[in-house]
Amino acid sequence: MIGKKPKRTLDEFVEERDAARFKEHGQLTRDLRSVREAAREQQERGDRLEKELGLYKVLSAAKVEPPVWLAPKVPSKGHRAIPSLTVADIHRGEVVAPEQIEGLNKYNIGIADQRVKRAFEGAIVLCRDYLKGVTFEGAMLLLPGDVVAGDIQQGRETNQGTLAQNIMGCVEPLEAGVNLLVEGFGKVHVVCVPGNHARNTRKPIAKNRAADNWDTLAYRIIERDYRNNPNVTVQVSDAADAAFSIYNTRYVLTHGDQFHGGSGISGALAPLLLGAHRKTRRAAASGRPYDCLVMGHWHRRYQLPGVKVSGCICGYDEYAYVSNFEPEPASAELWLTTPEHGITLTAPVFVQNRVEEGW
């Protein structure tokens, strides 16, 4: 009959019934698997909680009896060490106007002399009042350059005083500091290298780099003044670097302007580490390996493996401000070298004092 649905055959009925049963069986199987998985997770959680509870009970019941430690006795001969003071980037003659850098710093000749004085006094105070039980077998004064601002980089237009006045003017406070170190430590060795601001050429040079530099002239005056003093020796480098040793630790002093570049998050770290690597390879190839490279120039402190970068005396300036460098208080760098462990107890000597400097 037209329009009437045909009846299912027996085979079709059986097939549909089996398909429905198979589908139902599959769902039951999945449900059973989920129940078993949940039961296993619960069992594992219970076992973990039981274990943690047992551990907690054991720890709670345990009686802690730490051993009694006594402070080591000071050796009868005491600890030996030699302090090193790095006075970097004095820039005597430079003027920093606080109104141009949001009041972050102020600098002129009078402030420069005050900060140099505080660097030496701070070194004495740190060693005398903070480091008891140490026998100091002399002291090192490291001058990594830029003791005068020079006439390059707008210096002639903005500096205070003439170049000749600033060369002579930086000698007096430095020699006063050397005398203070002699009074405090007995003997002093001064190591000097030239900076880049005190050069006599528009661009940095390789030949006569030290000889044609106003820092070197100031150093030679200091060397002359202590020529007959048995307690002071002055090492003025004829090269850009100067090597010296303290006990078994070998150092190289440089200014730091040989390292260029640096941007982004790494900042100065990339050129510093690359430059240190190159110097290390050069020193090893020439049979003059060293343990630590010391420098200034970067106007902030960095303590890296095998590299010590001192803060600066002049502090934050207009160039750092417009370059968006992070401000850092003016400082010198002090550390001890011991015969047993080499470099130990590194500390900045903060030299900036707003009240005394009047800003």
Q: How far apart are CA 23 and CA 20, in angstroms?
A: 5
| Torsion, Cα of 49, 55, 61, 63 (10° steps) | -150
**Inter-residue contact 160 to 222 (CB < 8 Å):** no
Q: How far apart are CA 39 and CA 131, in angstroms?
A: 65
Q: How far apart are CA 106 and CA 301, in angstroms?
A: 19
Per-residue pLDDT of the chain (359 residues; tens, 9 = 90+): 555 556 667 777 767 777 777 777 778 788 888 888 888 888 888 888 878 777 777 767 777 677 777 766 766 667 899 999 999 999 999 999 999 999 999 999 999 999 999 999 999 999 999 988 899 999 999 999 999 998 875 556 789 999 999 999 999 999 999 999 999 999 999 999 999 998 888 888 899 999 999 999 999 999 999 999 999 999 999 999 999 999 999 999 999 998 876 665 566 788 888 888 999 999 999 999 999 999 999 999 999 999 999 999 999 999 899 988 899 999 999 999 999 999 999 999 999 999 999 99
Amino acid at 238: D
* Residues in a beta bridge with 344: 336
In 227-264, which positions are buried (b, 16+ CB within 10 angstroms) versus exposed (e)? eeeebbebbbbeebbbbbebeebbbbbbbbbbbeeeee
Residue with tokens 């069986």: 25
In 277-296, which positions are buried (b, 16+ CB within 10 angstroms) versus exposed (e)? eebbeebeeeeeebbbbbbb
The token pair at 99 is 């109104």
pLDDT of residue 39: 82
The token pair at 205 is 């040079």
Q: How far apart are CA 9 and CA 23, in angstroms?
A: 21
CATH number of 79-357: 3.60.21.10
Q: How far apart are CA 29 and CA 282, in angstroms?
A: 75
Q: How far apart are CA 349 and CA 164, in angstroms?
A: 29
pLDDT of residue 75: 64
Amino acid at 161: G
Beta-strand pair 188-192/232-236: parallel
Q: What does pTM read for this prediction?
A: 0.80
Radius of gyration (Cα) for the chain, nearest Å? 36
**Can you give the residue ranges of every domain in the chain?**
79-357
Residue of 268, 211, 272 whose CA lies nearest to 240: 211
In the chain, DSSP finds a helix count (H) and a strand count (E) of 8, 12
